[in-house]
């Protein structure tokens, strides 16, 4: 270790004063650059977290001020006790309750594809709402009107159990 210090001291002794000044200034600039490069990512993450905290805090204040309005935003699904029926049986019951007709049913693992027929579009809309309230997720929904009788509607629903 002392040999290395001796070599450095001899090197600096052989330099002119302006060369020593330039090396010292360069070392200082290099040290400042390294400190900035080390601290900059931490400063950026700190400022991002501070901004996120401020945003969440303002959201919390807004929610507290509008507590009554937020409480009224709950969906209008009735509280139902879920029977331990199968997915297909539950959907068939909902379809019949809405005065619609089950045309075909294709059942896979956790997915049921059903073709449903009826004459009133509002019954289909009510059915989709009830399916969502029961904890099912509607996948593809395709509506078709029969060519010969425009009052008859055929819909194909893909329904999957969510919870």
What is d(CA 28, CA 26) in angstroms, rounded to the nearest whole number? 5
- Residue 131, classified by CB atoms within 10 Å of its CB into exposed (0-12), middle (13-18) or buried (19+), is buried
Q: What share of the chain is helix, strand, coil (3-state, %, to 5)?
A: 55, 20, 25
- Going from N- to C-terminal start, the domains of the chain cover 2-69, 87-161
What is d(CA 95, CA 106) in angstroms, rounded to the nearest whole number? 15
CA distances from 70 to 29, 53, 54, 55 (A): 56, 21, 21, 18
pLDDT score, position 83: 58
Sequential pLDDT tens for the chain (163 residues)? 778 888 888 888 888 889 888 988 999 999 999 999 999 999 999 999 999 999 999 999 998 888 887 777 766 777 665 555 677 888 888 888 888 988 888 888 778 889 999 888 888 888 888 888 887 888 888 888 877 777 788 888 898 877 5
List beta partners, residue 104: 115
What is d(CA 92, CA 88) in angstroms, rounded to the nearest whole number? 6
* Predicted model pTM: 0.51
Residues whose CB falls within 8 Å of the CB of residue 96, separated by 6 or more in sequence, listed in order: 102
Q: Specify the DSSP element, H or E, that contains 141.
A: strand 136-145
Architecture of the CATH domain 87-161 = 2-Layer Sandwich (3.30)
The residue to which tokens 């000044």 are assigned: 21
pLDDT score, position 163: 58
């Amino acid at each position: 270790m002392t040999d290395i210090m001796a070599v450095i001291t001899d090197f600096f002794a052989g330099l002119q004063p302006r060369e020593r000044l330039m090396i010292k200034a360069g070392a200082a600039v290099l040290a400042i650059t390294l400190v900035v490069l080390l601290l900059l990512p931490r400063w950026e993450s700190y400022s991002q977290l501070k901004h996120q905290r401020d945003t969440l805090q303002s959201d919390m204040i807004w929610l507290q001020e509008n507590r009554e309005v937020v409480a009224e935003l709950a969906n209008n699904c009735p509280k139902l006790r879920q029977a331990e029926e199968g997915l297909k049986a539950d959907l068939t019951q909902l379809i019949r309750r809405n005065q619609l007709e089950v045309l075909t049913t294709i059942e896979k693992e956790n997915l049921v594809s059903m073709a449903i027929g009826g004459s009133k579009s509002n019954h289909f809309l009510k059915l989709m709402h009830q399916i969502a309230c029961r904890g099912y997720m509607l996948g593809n929904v395709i509506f078709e009107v029969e060519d010969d009788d425009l009052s008859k509607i055929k819909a194909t629903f893909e329904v999957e159990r969510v919870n």
